[in-house]
Amino acid sequence: METTLDEQGRVVIPQDVLHDLGLAPGARLIVEERDCTIVIRSADHDNGLVEEDGVLLFGGETLGEVDDLVERVRNDRARDIAGLSKR
């Protein structure tokens, strides 16, 4: 997913992402730089990841229907593979 910075350096987070993560105006976010990558994450929610036998697993609660999210991710990957990514 691609977005741009505005003139004040602000980033617009797409509505789908805001909805999936349950974020609303005023939500607290943490911004980190890791290996030339910008990571933005919620300061208010645990990400639900737990390490088990050296593998990260999701052990938290989902927001919304998991089947809908899986279907959207599959469709996004299929578009990426076909060279039809959303812009």
Helix (H) or strand (E) run with residue 52 in it: strand 49-52
pTM of the complete model? 0.46
Q: How far apart are CA 61 and CA 4, in angstroms?
A: 30
- What pLDDT, in 10s, does the model give residues 14-56? 988 888 888 888 888 889 998 889 988 887 766 677 778 888 8
- φ/ψ of 68, rounded to 5, equals -65, -40
**Could you tell me the domains of the chain?**
1-45 (2.10.260), 46-87 (no CATH)
- The confidence score (pLDDT) of residue 46 equals 63
Number of CB atoms found within 10 A of residue 28's CB: 9
d(CA 45, CA 74): 25
